[in-house]
Chains A and B, each alone.
Chain A
Amino acid sequence: MCGIVGLFLKNPALRPQLGKHLSTMLIGMTDRGPDSAGIAVYHKPVGDSQCKLTLFHADPNYHWRSIGGQMGEDLSAEVDTEVKGNHVVLTVTSDEAIVRRWLKQHHPEVRVMGYGQLMEVYKDMGLPAEVIDKYSVRAMEGTHAIGHTRMATESAVTTEHSHPFTAASDMCLVHNGSLSNHNNLRKWLRARGHEFETDNDSEVAARYFAQRMDEGASLPEALEAGLRDLDGFYTFTMGTRDGFAVLRDAISCKPAVLAETDDYVAMASEFRSLANLPGVDKASIWEPKPAVVYTWSLQ
């Protein structure tokens, strides 16, 4: 079992409180996922010539600053490091593909959690409330964010197995459910150049949608394609640079509730996570229908 949440702000006035509301929502899903938690938040865009990456290493005293210095020298780039827990956010005046290649060559022990120009990803073991405190999620501003609380049933409780999963620039996905054709899809994706970091079926889903969008599909088109190609149980919530999406499979045994007001769209596995949002008593509240694509985008 897992809990997933997502919050997409329509009203810019709410942006300073994104982290505060996301935290309440994530803590609301503690019963569904006490093992580990993760979030992806869209904020603090870097400049056009820059990219930003969220990296993880299990050692809390990992030598991030010397890595940043070495990277800067090798790539003739300016590297800014901001350490949070055992994560670091690197802002680099270079192309993200070059930075990722450099990391893979020189520091394969470092895990890339997310990359792009907006998105930062934090995930860790422990109760949602502990993860929120460790990464100061409450103080985060931004336009949208998604989150996941995990109760592992079949694979290990590790930071790597935690959601969200990233497979493209500024794109991430959280998943409640299980896919039954992930082995075939993984083969199909490997043949198209994808390298997998975990054996998690949710990573397959993230890469599948990334592949579709890379082929030119819009976010709703990619999700429609997923309805045809993904077999299994799923409720997905996805974030992109300027978009937010929710999708449930045709059987829909994995729960989902949406709440929408003039100010925001919020998604959660259960209403408990929406109950304390501002103005939720006046919100339009519904369960996303089976096999129907729901997307929103920033104006």
Chain B
Amino acid sequence: MINVDLAAETVRDLNQRLHDLPADTNERAWRIVNPKGAHALVAGLDRPVEVRIEGHVGYYCAGMNKQASVTIDGHCGVGVAENIMSGAVRVKGNASQSAGASGQGGLLVIEGDAAARCGISMKGVTIVVGGSVGHMSAFMAQTGNLVICGDAGQSLGDSIYEAKLYVQGKVESLGADCIEKKMTPHHIAKLERLLAEAGIKADARKFRRFGSARKLYNFHVDHADAY
């Protein structure tokens, strides 16, 4: 276990140490204390390391993550795991807006609530939220899965492409071109898998599924009102 105290070391030095790890590194377990809301913590990792951050973090924590498994034992600021490529990021507390924005792969688990724009423009990431999400979540979501165990705020899935949305609680409103879809046994089995991977306990049969009505892919004059 490598311990890093951010009261004594800078974020820049820590990130550089993590970026400099060789592919066959044995330094695979990292524990970081005193983050105190710092920005860009452990961004740009590309090694199969396990990082645990004890405390609240600032913006863009674990951004662009590849391979690494990052656990944040606290709340996080804007854009946690934005553009995540692979690996896993787990937030034990709540996440601010734009969590997992434009994520291309991997897994983001938020055990608490996520604020507005969760999964905005997601492109393949799976995001599992134990609590609720704010307005405009999954805006222009292209592919991937967004699982919400609580409620969803206004305009869920506005202008959505092919991402799959699962919501257990209430949906305040759906965005343009987002509709409810049938939850088949296939989808229940898939959702059970996603929940199990995320380590979140919930009954997949209680969820509703939402996705694209596919009316806004190309401009059609009959749909002008929906733009």
A, B from the same assembly: yes
Residues of A at under 8 Å CB distance from B?
Answer: 251-253, 255, 270-276, 281, 285-287, 289-290
Contact B94 A286 (CB under 8 A): yes
When the two chains form their complex, are residues B94 and A270 in contact, meaning their CB atoms are under 8 A apart?
Answer: no
B73 to chain A, nearest CB (A): 11
- Given the known inter-chain contacts A274-B37, A275-B37, please indicate yes or no for A285 contacting B56, CB distance below 8 A: yes
For B208, list chain A residues within 8 Å (CB): none
Structural contact, A272 and B94, CB atoms closer than 8 A: no
Cβ-defined contact, A285 with B75, below 8 A: yes
- In chain B, positions 6-54 with a C-beta closer than 8 Å to chain A are 36-38
Chain B residues closer than 8 Å to A286, beta-carbon distance: 94
Q: Cβ of A290 and Cβ of B135 under 8 Å apart?
A: yes
CB <8 Å contact, B116 and A271: no
> Would you call the interface of chain B mostly helix, strand, loop, or mixed?
loop
Tell me which residues from 43 to 71 in chain B have a Cβ below 8 Å from any Cβ of chain A.
55-56, 58-59
Interface pairs (11), CB distance under 8 Å: A252-B135, A253-B116, A255-B96, A270-B37, A270-B77, A271-B77, A272-B38, A273-B37, A275-B37, A281-B55, A290-B116
B212 contacts the other chain (Cβ, under 8 Å)? no
- Given A287-B94, A290-B116, answer yes or no on A271-B135 (Cβ-Cβ < 8 Å): no
Decide if B115 is an interface residue (CB 8 Å cutoff).
yes
What 6 pairs between A and B have smallest CB-CB spacing?
A271-B37, A275-B36, A272-B37, A275-B37, A271-B56, A287-B115
Shortest distance between the CB of B40 and any CB in chain A (Å): 12
What's the nearest-Cβ distance from chain B to residue A5, in Å?
13
Q: Which residues of A are found within 8 Å of B38, using beta-carbon distances?
A: 272
CA distance A286 to B94 in the complex (A): 8
Please report the C-alpha to C-alpha distance between residue A30 and residue B6 in the assembled complex, in whole angstroms: 19
A177 to chain B, nearest CB (A): 15
* Contact partners of B56 in chain A: CB under 8 A: 271, 275, 285
Contact of A276 among B36, B75, B134 (CB under 8 A): B36
Residue of A nearest to B95 (CB): A287
Tell me the complex Cα distance, A290–B55, Å. Answer: 25
Q: A272 vs B11: C-alpha distance in the bound complex, in angstroms?
A: 13
Which residues on the A side are within 8 Å of B37 (C-beta)? 270-275
How long is the Cα–Cα vector from A257 to B40 in the complex, in angstroms?
18
Q: Is the CB of B77 within 8 A of A252?
A: no
For the complex, give the distance between the alpha carbons of A94 and B135 in Å. 51
Complex-state Cα separation, A273 to B37, whole angstroms: 8
B75 interface neighbour in A252, A255, A271, A290, Cβ under 8 Å: A271
B138: shortest Cβ distance to chain A, in Å? 17
Residues of the B chain whose Cβ atoms lie less than 8 Å from the Cβ of A285: 56, 75
Give residues of chain B (132-188) contacting chain A, Cβ–Cβ below 8 Å. Answer: 134-135
Flag whether B97 is at the interface (Cβ < 8 A). yes
Most chain A CB within 10 A, of B37, B38, B77, B94, is at B37
Min C-beta distance of A257 to chain B, whole Å:
8
The chain A residue sitting closest to B34, CB to CB, is A275
Q: Cβ of A252: which chain B residues have Cβ within 8 Å of it? A: 97, 115-116, 134-135
CB distance from B118 to the nearest CB of A (A): 13
B78: interface (CB < 8 Å) = yes
CA distance A148 to B119 in the complex (A): 31
Inter-chain contacts of B36 with A (CB < 8 A)? 271-272, 275-276
B115, A272: Cβ atoms under 8 Å?
Answer: no
